[in-house]
Structure 1
Amino acid sequence: MDFGNNTGAPNNQPYEPYPTAPVYPQTPHHDPYGYHPYSHIPPHPTTMPGSVRAARIISWLFAALGIGLSVLAGVIGNPELAGALVAGLLPALFLALFAFGYTTNGNGMRVASIICAAFGILWSLGGAAQGLPPGLLGIAANLTILILLSKQISADWFKRPH
């Protein structure tokens, strides 16, 4: 058997023509120009979701309350209470600083805020057990911030392209 001989080919062509791939019509979702069948729905959030905005406002209010109460305690003349307030609300101050970056920073800011809120819950539990500030208010505020930032819509906001 001779594989190099192609004499049996029609029209006496020296070689058989190369088979072409079948041509299929393109559907809209396979368009090379980026057509998306749900183009009316934006692929990422364009405005800050309510959960992120609420976590931002809660962290600012909680830090402002802590600063105001510690200044008030210092003015009244109780430095021990002022020191306890500053120490107890330290995670709230960090959360308030992180909240300024919620519009421009990425997912790392969300993760850092979640970790800081979890640390604030533990910090507040220790304070509540000893009767020190922030007590139950700190547990509630930090838990609320943690839950709001753990939602999927919050993750989508922080993972959007900048």
Structure 2
Amino acid sequence: MSFGDPNNPYGAPQGQQPPQGQPGYGHPQQPPQGQPGYGYPQQGQAGYGYPSAPPVQQPYGGGAPTTMPGTVGAARVMLWVIVGFQVIGTALFAFSAVAVDQAKDDPAFEGLADYPTGALWGIAVLALVWGVWAAVLAVKFASGGSGLRVTALVFGILTAILAVYPFTIFGIIHLVLGILIAVFVGNANGAAWFKRPRY
């Protein structure tokens, strides 16, 4: 039915026009100007009174990470823990080698005379080298690429193997740290961090 239909019960009576300023029944009103929230789009808004959507961003995980993931940061901290243990180990083995050398002259420590001090010095040097390797890896975690990731994986695996043999009793902490470093660097977060583009 239309407004002009005489049988339209919602329309204005015949012969009468709706007063100016007030639309008749069934006539669409003009949207109020400057009053948001009436269901009419305002300038800079989408329809139905809702503001326009912000620009679409990439979903989480869709792009390269811009900050170091937590697991990769944890692996870096573990490398620094290993550095600390290696410094302590180097000092202990060097002190032991010096003590054994001096004890050989004392008759009370004749049992130590046959102990090879060269082995103690060798272990001290190995501990020092291992600590330096861990420190270099930890420093380069922020800027390193795929090559550093592979090197850190090798370091973690070798640390775990050496912790099992020959340093079984003293190597439990190194065993746990080595496994965790290899896992954290080798997982998807580690891959995304070390393969991220560098500009």
TM-score range, shorter chain: 0.5 to 0.7
Which residue of the partner structure matches residue 97 of structure 1? 136
Of the structure 1 ranges 59-68 and 151-160, higher mean CA displacement relative to structure 2 is found in 59-68
Partner of 2:149: 110
- Mapped pair 1:84 → 2:104: no
**Contact 1:59/1:96 (8 A) holds in 2:** yes
Shift of 1:91: 4.0
Q: Is the 8 A contact 2:184 2:190 kept in 1?
A: yes
CA distance in 1 between partners of 2:127 and 2:70 (Å):
28
Please list, as runs of the form range in 1=range in 2, the aligned pairs for 1:1-162 lying within 5 A after superposition: 38-39=57-58, 41=60, 43-75=63-95, 77-78=98-99, 80=117, 81=120, 83-87=122-126, 90-129=129-168, 134-162=170-198
Give the residue type in structure 1 aligned to 2:150.
V
Residues 143 and 86 of structure 1: CA distance in aligned 2, closer, same or farther (over 3 Å):
farther
Structure 2 gap segments, 5+ residues each: 1-54, 101-116
| TM-score, with length taken from structure 1 | 0.63
1:99 Cα deviation after fit: 1.7
Q: How far apart in 1 are the matches of 2:151 and 2:95? A: 33
Residues 52 and 154 in structure 1, CA contact (< 8 A), matched pair in contact too = yes
2-side partners of 1:75 and 1:93: how far apart? Answer: 19
Deviations 1:28-82 (A, max 9, x none): xxxxxxxx95436561111111111111111111112211232244346447556
Q: Structure 2 length as normaliser, TM-score?
A: 0.53
The CA distance in 1 between the partners of 2:181 and 2:193, in whole Å, is 15
Deviates further, 69-78 or 93-102: 69-78
Highest RCO, 1 vs 2 (Cα 8 Å, sep ≥ 6): 1
Q: In the superposition, relative to structure 1, how do residues 119 and 75 fare at CA in structure 2: closer, same or farther (>3 Å)?
A: closer
Letter in 1 for 2:148: M
With 36-45 and 96-105 compared, the bigger mean Cα shift is at: 36-45
Query: Bigger radius of gyration, 1 or 2?
Result: 2
Q: CA deviation at 1:93?
A: 3.6
From the superposition, tell whether residues 82 and 62 of structure 1 become closer, same or farther in structure 2 (CA, over 3 Å). farther
RMSD: 2.7
